[in-house]
Amino acid sequence: MRLYALGGLLYILSVVPVGGWAASSKPCPLKVKETIIPPRGWQQHGVPPPDHRIVLRIGLPQPNFHVLEKHLYEVSDPYHHRYGTHLSKEETERLVAPHQESVDAVDEWLESHGIKQSDLVRSPAKDWVTLTIPISLAEKMLGTKYSVWKHVDGDEIVRTTSYSLPEDLYDHIDLVQPTTMFGRFKRNKSTIVWLDQKEAPQTQNFKATVKSGPGATVDPSCNRTITISCLQQLYNAVGYVPKAKGNSIGITGYLEEFANIQDLQSFYADQRPDALNSTFKFLSVKGGLNSQNLSEAGAEAGLDVQFAFGLSHPIPATFYSTAGSPPFKPDTLTPEDTNEPYTDWLDFVLSRDDTPLTISTSYGDDEQTVPESFARRACAGFAQLGVRGTSLMFSSGDGGVGDNDPNPATQQCFTNDGRNVTRFIPSFPASCPFVTVVGGTTGVPEVAVSRFFSGGGFSDYFARPAYQQRVVEQYLAALPEGTYNGLFNRAGRAYPDVSAQSDRYRIFLSGRPVLIGGTSASSPAFAGIVALLNDVRLSRGQPPLGFLNPLLYSKAVSGFNDITIGHNSGCGTTGFNATKGWDPVTGLGTPNFGKLKNLI
């Protein structure tokens, strides 16, 4: 046993090996580690060349993650005496480090296949090992055969449906990817309306007001176009000027979505003139670019940085661009197959000390296309950021309870377990209990968004966390008996947690004003409000908010505008309804900054 003191408390960490490893002259029998049925839409399309190179990530067990999780909930609970005492990078790494026996066992296995230490890249905690090898060697090591798989939409990837490990190594490795990962990592849907400059309504031209709630008024133009001013009015943040030192906000960019600085300046001139000539810090992940060619400006990236950074100005801002545009197409122009890029981003930020205090992401997968082992490890990475004091926001998606395609022939609401039965399809990372998920609203007064449908539902992988148990049970108890029996997991982590406006945001794209919508808009908007709340705490000498959910569902619950109208259609149903209190359409509701800054 090993004693480990942290945060004034004494913890006992297990150091008992999870399995044995002994050198042997005889090959160790292989044992199947994971087998999956390919998701709908994928078909085998060929065999990759043996010299095709693949970037393998080997996840070693984190035997003391339960201790980190305990810390996370204690430092995130506003009623706990340790609230806000976040851990350092080094303290966090000690809590996710594998046993040395696992490190040695994996090293010996790799060496037996001619892989040298110099060929490996290790995470700071040594819980991940990354190597780039020919696919022929990967097949030999994993007792498998890779194939080229093609999706009905044309995407191609190199994957397998099963892989094995030596029996003596089995308990020293949690997962190896890419193997069974068929996720189609994608931006959440965005609806764009192109406008001529003269057609785009300007908020300041409207003098009348409309009610947004008790005692609140909002410019009527906000029913047609959402601007920074509209969000400040809707969410009771008019006139607040951030002033604390040490604050920060970040946006993640993927799939070659570039944040154009010229568009940002045009946006600032249009809606936030006091921010003119300010910009963001750009960080490249795995060679990610941020082209400033106006013709390559990304709608998603532009939306995210313009509203998150515009709403939170002058808080220092960072934009991450992570290389890679999966699903991968195996051709001579892309000689290496890689993992889903949000894990590359996680590797990057977890290795640094300068992670922003607030981060928003508008990308995700269908949960069932992500192997559960992979989803749990990625979710554990988000927990590490939370315990270090970072608030993570993810958009809930725009497919309602799974797929708002009205055509039953093309709907994707079916299980991947071989039965192909109808099922609501939760999203990941939205289903991870260690992130804050943002749904969508529209109009004044606000209702659940209706031009597309706010993603929401219940995870099939993650159990419902204690922080939301009471409100979710209340919602489920009020459902008419038999509602959607068998279509969702009543015991799963429920989402979204909160919501914000998600339709007809006015941004600048490639030099022109456009209107854009989706929960891709609501997440950066909510992140902007969180950055302002962090300013409130930092200006009073208090620590940042960090992982938000235990606070949101308890002390801060009265700081939200309850949304009670609307639903989130999908899978041939009308989905769930927005109701009084929490619901799987708009969560707890939209933020009231004026109330929240007093509550925190």
Question: Which residue numbers are catalytic?
Answer: 300, 304, 520
- Could you tell me what percentage of the chain is helix, strand and coil, using 3-state DSSP and rounding each to the nearest 5? 30, 25, 45
Secondary structure of 161-227 as H, E, C letters: CEEEEEHHHHHHCCEEECCCCCCCCEECCCEEEECCHHHCCCHHHCCCCEEEECCEEECHHHHCCEC
Distance (Å, rounded) from C-alpha 138 to C-alpha 281?
38
Q: Which two tokens stand for residue 521?
A: 């808009």
Q: What is the CB neighbour count within 10 angstroms for residue 219?
A: 23
581 labeled binding residue:
yes
Residue 104 labelled as part of a binding site:
no
d(CA 383, CA 391): 10
C-alpha distances (whole Å) from 573 to each of 189, 482, 568, 576 are: 20, 14, 9, 9
Q: How far does Cα 258 stand from its chain's mean position?
A: 19
CA atoms in the 13 A half-sphere facing the CB of 240: 30
What distance in Å separates the CA atoms of residue 431 and residue 441, rounded to the nearest whole number?
20
Where helices occur in 237-357 by DSSP H, the ranges are 261-271, 299-312, 341-350
Is residue 563 marked as binding?
yes
What is the spatial distance between Cα 452 and Cα 563, in angstroms, rounded to a whole number?
Answer: 17
- d(CA 218, CA 445) in angstroms, rounded, equals 9
Q: CA 307, CA 358: separation in Å to the nearest integer? A: 14
439 is in an annotated binding site: no
* Structure-token match 């315990």, residue found: 387
DSSP, res 449? -
From the list 220, 245, 247, 246, the residue with the least C-alpha distance to 234 is 220
Beta partners for residue 186, in sequence order: 364
Of residues 349, 383, 391, the one with CA closest to residue 523? 391
Alpha helices in 406-468 (DSSP H): none
Strand positions, DSSP E, 512-569: 512-517, 560-561
Query: Is the bond into 63 cis (omega within 30 degrees of 0)?
Result: no
233 contacts: CB under 8 Å, gap ≥ 6: 212, 216, 217, 218, 219, 222
Residue with tokens 């122009």: 333
In whole angstroms, give the CA distance from residue 436 to residue 467: 12
Q: How far apart are CA 209 and CA 207, in angstroms?
A: 7
- Residues making up the annotated binding site for Ca(2+) are 562-563, 581, 583
